[in-house]
Structure 1
Amino acid sequence: MPSPPSRTRIVEAAIGLLESSGRDAVTTRAVADAAGVQPPALYRLFGDKDGLLEAVAEHGFATFLASKRVDPDPPDLIEDLRAGWDLAVEFGLAHPALYSLMYSEPTRAASPAYQAGLKILKGRIRRLAAHGRLRVDEELAAAIIHATARGAVLTWLSLPEDGRSPALLTALREAMVTAITNQEPAVRETGPAGAARALRATLPEQTVLSGAEQHLLHEWLDRLAAQD
């Protein structure tokens, strides 16, 4: 079996071909030549070309993950959201061919590095929700962030170079921020007690719950609100 450095060298050779000449250039023969190994080494390590491309995509997710800056308690949650979005878009623009490969197959969402990155994003969204700044469901927020970032990258790359205005990226990012966040916190006090008080105050205005359901929910909210 080739040593671990050989595996890394093969993946890096494939990425070099991908970024310089496109996906069609990533053949097992070309990658083996670029990596300085025999083709059987690729088959032993990756199974086939699809297995090699999966490894390349995983390497891309791991590289992107390593570039993420995680602040567990950012001073400004909205600026933290913007910074995370900007980082994702910058990575895509810097590695267009690799980025396209990474997101071309839905099955790659199972990638360990992708899942680790998603966990970071969900943590960012959860902090927004806990501070009353999230205006949509957390899963929808994650989908909107992903959709706008990928759309920004692919749209930018589809434009002629003289038609690429940074204002486009700014506008898409701010549309994302507006879509998923409140300008002012919906809950002034963080934590379960503050959220319970805010929800309890709005209950008389809603008509979805029956009287019995409202009574039970009031009881639960009273308990949570008394936790201070």
Structure 2
Amino acid sequence: MNSIFRFGLVVPVLVGLSATAQSNFLSQDEHYAMGDVGEDPASDLNAYEAMNAILGGDSIRLCGGHPCIGWVEDQYTDGTLKHRGYYDQGKLTLYKNYHSDGKLEREFRSIDAVKSVQRTYHVNGELRSEAKYANGLSITYEDHYLSGVLRYAEERHRSEPYYIRMDLFAADGKPISQLQLVDKKRVEFVQKEFYPGGALKCEGHARYDPSRMDSQRIGSWVYYDASGAVVKEEAYLDGKVAAVN
């Protein structure tokens, strides 16, 4: 658990695993209440992303043999609205997709020439995810369990290849892991891990090394038992344990 960054991505708990992989791994521990993350978005609704140039899509939708301009709607076979979007030269700039029962599945809009936001929804209507972008790059992202409880949240630095915040939560809302930038100049983070139920398990600092695109634990790391008593303290030097108390 020494590294936080992998190719510019922060890993809050388990080195080398994405947040989704971490969630899948932790769900194998019967003590963590990981909850239902819901079904993946339908492929036919995801297909519209290919025409969203702001988020990197490079496809063009044609209407009558020419790039679509203006509002376009698609329906399911029973006539229920499936998609309504505004196209500019075949590219989506504003749209909403709907589940087959008529509930909103996702919505995307540009706030200004730089910023945009996308929200997706579970089949039960609860918020599934929210991503805010700047120049097509995701700056903040959150996703939620099927119940609506926050599962994961991250905030990315706008110009540097590291994250300012990465938090993972169990289905009961209790934290599993937290990472927070606390010193912008030195690029140092506080990292915490928790027992099932939310009691603090360990905490300490880590510092990002841009030359390695990685990070190392620094200073003192303190470990606790489930009752909050200190059970061990590790002192780190150059990313390695130098002393244990």
- Provide the TM-score with structure 2 as the length reference: 0.27
Q: Which has the higher contact order (CA 8 A, sep 6+)?
A: 1
- Provide the TM-score with structure 1 as the length reference: 0.29
Greater helix share, structure number? 1
Greater strand share, structure number? 2
